[in-house]
Every structure is written in C-alpha cells, then in structure tokens.
A and B are shown apart, each in its own frame.
Chain A
Amino acid sequence: MTMDNDIKIKFEAGEYDVVVIGAGHAGCEAALACARKGMKTMLMTMHLDSVAMMPCNPSIGGTGKGHLVREIDALGGQMGRVIDKTYLQIKTLNTSKGEAVHSLRAQADKARYHDEMKRVIENTPNLYLKQAQAVEIMTDSDGKVCGVMTYTGGIYRCRAAVICSGTYLKGRIIIGEAIQESGPNGLMASYKLSDSLRELGFTINRLKTGTPTRINRRSIDFSVLTPQYGDKDSEAFSFDDDLGEDKKDLPCYLAYTNEETHDIIRANLSRSPLYSGVIHGTGPRYCPSIEDKVVRFADKKQHQLFVEPEGASTDEMYLQGFSSSLPEDVQEKMLHSLKGFEHAEIMRSAYAIEYDAIDPRQVYSTLMTKPVKGLFTAGQINGTSGYEEAAAQGIVAGINAAQYVRGEAMLTLTRADGYIGVLIDDIVTKGATEPYRIMTSRVEYRLLLRQDNADKRLMPFGYKFGLVSEERYKRMLAKWESVDREIERLRSVKVTDSPALRELSEITGGGIRPGTTLYTLLKRPTISYEDLAPLDEDRPALPKNIVKQAVIQIRYEDYILREEKQIERFRKLEDKKIPVDFDYQNSKNLRIEARQKLDRYRPLNLGQASRIEGVSPADISVLMIELAKADNK
C-alpha cells in the first residue's frame, strides 16, 4: 500500500459497499446499477456540475452506438431514458439498408441531459453523490480493494471500487503552442490516481482525443447552409418510452471546408503539435483532426462539416469535422474561410487532450481488473472513446461490483450476446492502442444482434441481475410471444384465388399461386405486410413493432438460421473455460510468444485465447490438449 506524503491528515469518511470514481457516462451507469442492486454506493466526481457531462459531440447514438444505448436500456440502465427526455432531434440512420444496421441517433441538449441524469442519481436510494477527488485505491493484505482515499485525506472504506476516470488522469490540453495541465473542458485534472494504479501493477498507456470548436449561433449565416432535420415518427431509445406525437426537431446544418481552408491548414502545419511532436498520445483514426484529414487526403477538395446545436437554451453550436489542435489564431482563420462562417465567433476553441488509461488486457470481461480483486474499470480508462461505449461498460462494471460484494456470479456478455459483449471482448483481448470505438463491422452476428431486439437478447440478464422489474420483464416476454404467434398465424394462412391476389401477383413479378402461405409470400423482399392485407381477412390489429419483428424473422430466416449456427460454433470455444491459474509457463508445447502472452493476459476461455494477438490456431490446438490433460489428472 502506498502512502501519500502530501496528505498530512487522514480521516475515516464512512463505509460503503462500492465507491464509484467519476460521474461521467460510465460512472453514472455503474453507480445507478450498484445502488439499484441494494449496494450502499458512493459516487465521487471532480465537479458536481460535470455529472454526465458531454465534453465533445452533442449527440447520443449513431451507427453501432445506437445499439449500445438500446442494450444498456435492456439491461436496466439509464442512458436511453435520459436522452429520450432531453433530445433536440432524433432520427434512425441507415433506413435505406437492412434492419441489422438501422441505428437511432439523437441530438442532445447537453445541459438538460446533465440535469436529468443528476436528478435521477440524487433521487436513487442507497446512492451518495459527492464532489471529491480520489487519489489512491487502498488494498488489504490479500490485495483486495478495501477503500478509496481522497485528496483531502478522506478514507472511504469499501469492498469494491469502480474507476471511471474519463480523460482526467494526468490530463493535458493542447491548443497549438499553448499546453495546459487540465481535464476536459477546462476542468481540473487528476494527478495522483494513475500513480496509485501504476503502483498496483497496472500498465499505463497515454491516449489522445480532441474536440472541435464551438461557435456562437448568432454569428453564423445559416442562409448558405443546408438544414438537416430529424424523423417525424421516430421510436424512442428506451423500450419503455414513447416520444409522443409532438416531437422536438431542432435542425443541424451541413457545411463544407474549401481549398482556402486547406491552404491555411497546410501553411500552419509546422505549428501543429501533432506534427511537431508535442503530442505523444495515440489518437483515434476515426476522429482525425481536420489537419490530419487535409494531410492524409490531400486530393480532396472539400470535407463535410456538421453544425449541431449544443442545447435549446444556449447559442453554442458544435462544428463536427473541425476537430483540431492548431493554435487559436489559426483556428480562427480556418473558420472564417468557411462559407457561412465569415464572421463566426468562436466561443470555445478546439483542443486536443492527452490522458492516462490502463491496458484493458489487464481487465477481465467482467470488467474486474486482473491485478486487484474488487477493482473494476469502465470507459476511457479502458481505452475506449464515446459516451455510449463508456455507459455500456459502466453498467456491466456496476452490476459486477455488486455481484462481487455479494459473492455471487458475475455477468459476462459475449460477442454472441450483443454489441456490449463485442466491445468488452475486443478491448480485453486485443487491448486499445488507440481510443476504441464500436463499429457494426466489428460485430460478427449483427443480423441477430439488432437494436430492435436488444430487449429480447439482454433483458433476461437485466432481470436476472436485478435491474429489470418482473413487470417490465414479463411485458417484454409477452411482446415476443405475440411476435411468435403472428409468425405462426402467417404460416397457417393460405391465400385463395381472388382479383386482389392476381393484382398482387402482377405487380410483384408474378408466380403467386393460390394455396401459398402468407409466410412464403413475405419472404419476397418485394412484398410488404401491408400488401397482403387484402388477402388476410382475419388479420389481428397488432402494434407496429410486433409486425416489424415478425416480418424481419420471416424475411431473413435463412440468414438468421446461419448466424445461429455460427453462434453455436462460436460458443463451443467460449465454453471451454481456462482456469485463471493455468500454468502456461510449463506448457512446453506452446510457442514461447503464445506462452508469454497467455500467461500475461490470462484469457478466461479458449475463444478469448484465440483472439489474443500472437496466439496462433496451432497454439489453440495445443492449449486444447493441455486443458484436456489437466482435466484428466
């Protein structure tokens, strides 16, 4: 255990089951999950006004991320409900493509989102919210978490701790030549906690991210920009919410960079900390700064920018696509070169931020860390990027911290369970050398892991782990039962000869014979459920979402069956557990590289082992044999 010389006076600050450090999107979900599971929970934040803060883009959801929000909701989390209450605009992306890649995205009112989440937290029993800076994770003689010490010397005794430190750990903000020790958004950074982690045996990585300029709405000439509106009849994120008839729809706008902008950037590249070597952290490829884009895609004449409102009660507008770490004066020139932004006023400058994170391969898929029992991590500390990615880990870490305290089995979501499973498995097996973002292409079984069936997939876990009420769970079961009933009904109804049938046959390419079931007809992508109404006299009145699910299951049946088979195969390797204390070093038949990697990262099963870089299929065969030998002994 380490002693901090700076802290002269220590005092007992109370006993808790779980202490959650950080009240961003991960911390809020973690703390709510713990408290709702009956844990006496302390939620610490550097600043109470930054609870559920969105220091970057003013939106929740999007491709892949929308899936995460739905899954969090199905598990019994809060993010979906809060955004449903506080959105400014909502739409479904990719509607021209298949249901598997449909994704909800909402523009968020940042201030209201923060207010709403904070209110929920304040009103949750067992949950204590406090402004305090954690500086040390305290462990007992068995190496288990026993407390968290704050900057002011307070010792919060606890049996489990969840660290959701965001970009605060040794944060450093860079705007051109101006460099400042700082957390996000000008908030104070946290210096001591990552040293405590290093002493506990964690490998610390340095990561980088950034955020674009905020512009005063009144200084933008919107007459030359293209407005973009949301959907008129959108679904809500939460499976329980209904957005009602009168939807809010504040527009975003589309803008473009031009050759002049690019010239300004090129002329000032020498002043970019990215190119002069000031920034050491590794940034995400999918959030490149505008200078990155201009250098890497030199032949592109223009880049798209999206102008998004930060809230209904503020004039701040977010300029997506214009992230930069160039000096402020250059940012200003760049901005004024944009059409519609000739007189734009910057309210907040774009900046790059560097921060400490751990190597997430030191974390189990339960999100408990390998070096310290009872210590969990979630969000950017695990190398991810994004509010939704953070919240997704937060709820899993929260559930499992409570399970750990109770001495009960923890929740592990696999790649076959959902996007959350993919996200966690990716980081714990492959690490995160750059901030990790969920993408639908990372997901193997995405036809089965749709956002529209997240309730069916994950609510059973939410129910089992105590975050979903019996009433809500039964409602979900009832919904899916009616989907199954409708599928069965469509299977049994055969069409008879009629003018309506002949007409349908004609307009959909022909060949429909009397006696065909509605089920068979629905398999044709050219025939919709509505098209069949004249042929389906006894059709029950069903809610839209039930019909939609029935049609998806029928239409994509072949593909669904194939993915189900693939999942079966996948599960075989996942089900082959490897004991945590397995002796890799004495498995002489393993190649040395594999032996070292496996020994270091200690995968929980053969499937995970196979996804670790440097472990070959031959190593997996060997491991299979070694495991069988160990079993026989």
Chain B
Amino acid sequence: MNDYDTIAAISTPVGTGGISIVRLSGEKAFEITEKVFSRPNGKPFSEAGANTLSYGHIIDTEGSIVDEVLVGKMLAPHTYTTEDTAEINCHGGLFAARSVLALLLKNGARVAEPGEFTKRAFLGGRIDLSQAEAVEDIITSKTELFTKIAAGQIAGALKNAVNAITDKILILLSDLEVTIQYPEYDIEEVTVGRLRDSLEEIRDDIEALGATYRKGEISREGLRTVIAGKPNVGKSMLLNRILDEDKAIVTDIPGTTRDVVDELVNLSGVPVKLMDTAGIRESSETVEAIGIDRSVAAIKKADLVLWTVDVSSPLEQEDIRLRTEISGRPFIAVLNKCDLGINKETLDYFRNDECIVCSAKTGENMEKVTGVIADFAMDSPGDITSAALIVNARHKALIDKAADAIGHAISSLDEGMPEDLIEIDINDCRDYLGEITGETAREDVIDDIFSRFCLGK
C-alpha cells in the first residue's frame, strides 16, 4: 500500500543556517539510512540504540563522502509521525542536504508531499483531522496574519459558523420529518413557501461563508497585486522599490512563468504577492504577444492592479486601452516618473480615480504606494483573526458542494418534487458541512423532533 512507503524531505527551512535536517519516516527509514550511512566504528546503523545520535558519513554509490553528519534514530510509535524516523543532520546550505536527500531517494525513499509528515501523524492517530489541518496551516502559512487565523480556527471560529448553519438545517429537517413520521397528528406542515424561504436563507449563509475563502486566500497566499502598464513606464523599478520597502522577503515563489515575475512581500504584516507583467501594447511579434496575453490573464485574476503610467509625458492610446483590460478589477493609478515633470493632461485624466503621483527612481511618495496596498489588503480581509474564514481548500470545496446541494433542493422544489426527496439534497448539504467540522449525524434530527414536538401513544 502506497501509504506505508518511506518518505523523506529536507525539514529545515531553505536558507543558510548552520545545519540542515533531512528527515525520513516509514517502515524502511532505518534500512535506507543504513545503506548510505557509514559509522567510524564500522557498526551498522541498525545496531544504534533507540533515541540516539550517531556520528558518521553519508557515502554515495561511488563510495565518496557526501557529507559529515549526525543521525538521530527514533523508534515508532513515539515519534511525530508514529513511524520509525531517522533525522540526518547535514552541514548547512542547500547543497549538502539536497545531495543527501537525492541519495536517500535513490535508495528507496520517496519524497514527502507537502504536509505528509503531519498526515502520517494524523493517520497514526496522534492528532485528529482538525488539529492536523490547523497544524498544517501553521506550517505552511507564509505570514504572521495567517498563523493567527489558523490559531483562531483551532479555537473554533469556523466550527461555530458552520454549526450555526447546520442548526438551521436541523430545525428545517426535523420540521419536515415530524410530519412524515406522524402524519396524523395536527402538526403544522411545512409549506412550500416556507420551505423555499428557509432553503434560500441557508443558501445565503453558506455562500457568505464561502465568500470568505478569497479573504482567507489573501492572508495565506498574499494579495495578488499586478503591476500593469505599457512598456517603459517604470514597472520593474516600481517593483524593486516596493521590494526594498519590505525588509524581509519571505520567499520567492518558484515555478511561475518568467514573463510574469512573482514576489511575495510583507507590507506591515500583510502578505502581498507582487506580479510584474510584460508591458502591454499592440505587438505583432509572437513571443511578445504571448507575454502580453499572460499579462492580461494576470490582470483578470488580480485582487489589485497597480496601473502604472509615465506622468511626465502625454498619455498614449496604449495607456488608455488598459482601462478596458482592468475593467472590473480594483486598481490604483501609479503616476510614475514625477521626477521628470508632471503632464497636466495626464494627471487630469485620472482625476476620478484613486491615484498616487510618485517616482520609483527617487523614492518620492513610495511609502504612500506601499501604504495604500497594505490598507487595501487589510480592508479586504476585515477582522480576519476572529471571524470565521475559509482558508483551507478542502473546506472551500465542501462549502461549494453544500451550496450546490441547497441550490439543487431549491430547483427541485420549483419543479414540484416531493419534500422527502428535497430532504435528500438537504441531508447532502448537511453531510458536506459536517465533514468540515468532522460531525455528521442523523440521530440529532430525531433528538430534535422529540424535544420540540409532542407525540406518541
């Protein structure tokens, strides 16, 4: 079974620390380590005691030394993953750790997926699902803000929000069920109109909760801020200047296309994902056209567009054309190059827009630019540390399914389907929501019926 293979990963942050740790977990953790690890006393690793550190060298297939290491040996089940775990302490820097990891992979380990050590801790019964998700969110969070949200989630803000919805569903279900179970008692039937109203109310609640996902994503992935403008208005310099404002770049995000450059920056504690785009202009050249298409695509998905123009010169058709591309996205007009003078007509064109006159070159008003971005990001999430927020993709998918189920209930009701069939949709919705909090139960409908209605022999 795939679940039990031995996994390995570099478990210290990428950087230039004193040591890097490569962790191995699984049934063959010790066996694989033994293949690449040589101790000066010549004894095999399998003979090393539980919970010990052993000194030695990692040797590659050709017999040459890869690194001088200390290897920790921890026996199942008293480890984080509850499996046998080996931790290889290599010299700092990426190179040594990567070479060791590569060697382990060659000898039968598999590279761990993100969060897989935590997943195993969960599967090993050490932590439950909600804890696992919160722990994973803390591990993967890129910002302090997000850590707060994840912590808040452990405290149950999301659970409370979901429960408020499932409580409404419960009442509706027991109102429907009681007339099915006790058809001859004079209990008020749920009318189609009332059923529809209740369903719509529940759908609105679910959708409102679902809508917080975007905010959650901002705190997790950063506010998608796209720097757009025609060529040579100073976009790259603007990017660099904003990056300068951020003294601690958290990480660069690998794997993005080279023509849209992403940087995650931290502006007053708010994560912002800055994206510099290829200049947008009419182009007949194929390569450039592809870049421009991508820029347009990035704008469409942006949370905020920094529409950059050269304020020192008259606007060109290519500047103005951007308004169409940006349409519908929130934007700030960045009127750059003010050090070269200010063209009155250009300035006037933006009189009804939020705009900042600045110079990326001299740094004039740059603090305003970063301030506006940070304010914008803070505005969007609202009081995100206390309110319920969907930050987890699994939760979002379940919320969407729950909303679909209620939508289906409403359309079936409109088609004239009997209410006991509509209950199938309502129950589905409830099951999806229950999966978020880890509570799905039918028995509570029965409890509710008997607490609210007077029935029986």
Residues of A at under 8 Å CB distance from B? 56-57, 63-64, 93-94, 97-101, 210-212, 228, 284-288, 293, 296-297, 300, 303-304, 306, 320-321, 323, 430, 439-442, 444, 446-447, 524-526, 556, 559, 562-563, 588-591, 616-619, 621-622, 625, 628-629, 632
Contacts and interface: CB of A to CB of B under 8 A. Distances in A.
Interface in B408-454: 415-421, 424, 428, 438, 442-443, 445-446, 449-450, 454
Contacts of A441: 173, 177, 180-181, 442, 445-446, 449
A616 B131 CA distance: 13
A618 B128 contact: yes
21 contacts: A57-B457, A63-B183, A211-B457, A286-B450, A287-B457, A288-B454, A293-B456, A304-B186, A306-B184, A320-B457, A321-B456, A440-B177, A440-B180, A440-B420, A441-B177, A441-B180, A441-B449, A442-B442, A589-B77, A622-B123, A622-B125
Given A97-B180, A286-B450, A440-B180, A621 B415 contact: no
Interface residues of B, number: 42
B456 A287 contact: yes
A520 to B, nearest CB: 13
Interface string B103-140: 00000000000000000001111111100000000000
B194 to A, nearest CB: 16
A228 B186 CA distance: 14
B442 A444 contact: yes
Contact of A296 (B173, B177, B182, B454): B454
B180 A617 contact: no
Contact of A321 (B180, B416, B457): B457
B4 to A, nearest CB: 8
B82 interface: yes
Contacts of B77: 588-589
B118 to A, nearest CB: 13
Given A93-B183, A296-B454, A98 B128 contact: no
Interface string B156-200: 000000000000000001000100111111100000000000000
A616 B173 CA distance: 25
Nearest to B78: A588
B180 A293 contact: no
Nearest to B187: A304
Contacts of A619: 125
A97 B420 contact: yes
B455 interface: yes
B77 to A, nearest CB: 5
B3 interface: yes
Given A441-B442, A442-B443, 14 more contacts: A98-B418, A98-B420, A212-B457, A286-B456, A304-B184, A304-B186, A439-B181, A441-B445, A524-B415, A524-B416, A525-B416, A617-B129, A618-B125, A622-B125
B457 A323 contact: yes
Interface in B345-401: none
B1 interface: yes
Nearest to B83: A589
Contacts of B442: 441-442, 444
B454 A293 contact: yes
A589 B183 CA distance: 48
A63 B180 contact: yes
Contacts of A93: 183-184
A444 B441 CA distance: 11
A50 B125 CA distance: 53
B420 A525 contact: no
A94 B180 contact: yes
A525 B415 contact: yes
B415 A97 contact: no
Contact of B456 (A99, A323, A562, A588): A323
A412 B122 CA distance: 33
A293 B453 CA distance: 9
Contact of B446 (A212, A293, A297, A439): A439
Contact of B82 (A57, A211, A323, A589): A589
Q: Please provide the 5 A-B residue pairs with the shortest distance between their CB atoms, ordered closest to farther.
A: A98-B418, A525-B416, A589-B125, A285-B450, A622-B125
Contacts of A589: 77, 82, 124-126
Contacts of A100: 418, 420-421
A559 B124 CA distance: 37
Contacts of A525: 415-417
- The residue among A64, A101, A304 with the most chain B CB atoms within 10 A of its own CB is A101
Contacts of A296: 454
Contacts of B125: 589-591, 618-619, 621-622
Contacts of B186: 304
A358 B456 CA distance: 24
Nearest to A288: B456
B455 A286 contact: yes
A617 B438 contact: yes
Contact of A303 (B415, B418, B421, B454): B454
Nearest to B415: A525
A622 B119 CA distance: 11
Contacts of A304: 184-186
A530 B138 CA distance: 63
Contacts of B182: 63
A361 to B, nearest CB: 15
B56 to A, nearest CB: 31
Contact of B420 (A300, A303, A446): A446
Nearest to A526: B416
B421 A559 contact: yes
A161 B186 CA distance: 45
B159 to A, nearest CB: 15
Nearest to A252: B184
A629 B419 CA distance: 46
Contacts of A447: 420-421, 424
A511 to B, nearest CB: 13
A563 B128 contact: no
A63 B181 contact: yes
A57 B184 CA distance: 15
B395 to A, nearest CB: 15
Contacts of B445: 441
Given A100-B420, A306-B184, A442 B446 contact: yes
A97 B450 contact: no
B184 A562 contact: no
B142 to A, nearest CB: 27
Contact of B122 (A446, A621, A628): A621
Nearest to B424: A559
Contacts of A212: 457
Contacts of A590: 125
Contacts of A320: 457
Contact of B128 (A63, A442, A616): A616
Contacts of A284: 456
A619 B125 CA distance: 6
Contacts of B417: 98, 525, 556, 559
Contact of A94 (B3, B183, B185, B416): B183
B392 to A, nearest CB: 16
